[in-house]
Structure 1
Amino acid sequence: MLKAVVKTLVLLAILFVILYVGLNNGHAIDFRFPVAGATDKKPIHAPAALIFFGVFAVGVLAGTVLAYGDKGGKKSSSKDR
């Protein structure tokens, strides 16, 4: 699992460099997420590219953990596949 998380973090670092270009040409927006409750009254005011990257990063990391999460603490072998 650690190997998958490291690969994911490298992927996110590469994508951050790509999105960094968008930061130089982006305008600030108000991000509201009423389900969370905290942003309903005071929205997050940040560049659109940074907010997009944050939402994307959370989704990719959550997907990685769900796909490669700890499978009962036992190591898989070729017989388990």
Structure 2
Amino acid sequence: MTDPVVTWTPDCYGLAVAQMRAEGRAVDDELLAHISPAHSENADLFGTITVEIATELAELAPAGYRPLRPHRQAQP
């Protein structure tokens, strides 16, 4: 399960960074240089993942990716 996560994560990061920059948000390249897909806390590498293929495919955008979740501002 590690290989798909390490392969997909940089792609997803790239989409997120591109969207953030398109929205006018500053994303520092120096910060991005320290991000590693191999050390991602957003993936459970030891659990079981159940995927409803038809549901997931129905949510794909024309480019073949799921839409990114909208940015939520931190609550003060």
For normalisation by structure 1, the TM-score amounts to 0.29
Computing the radius of gyration from Cα coordinates, the structure with the larger value is 1
Hey, which of these two has a bigger chunk of helix by percent?
Answer: 1
For normalisation by structure 2, the TM-score amounts to 0.31
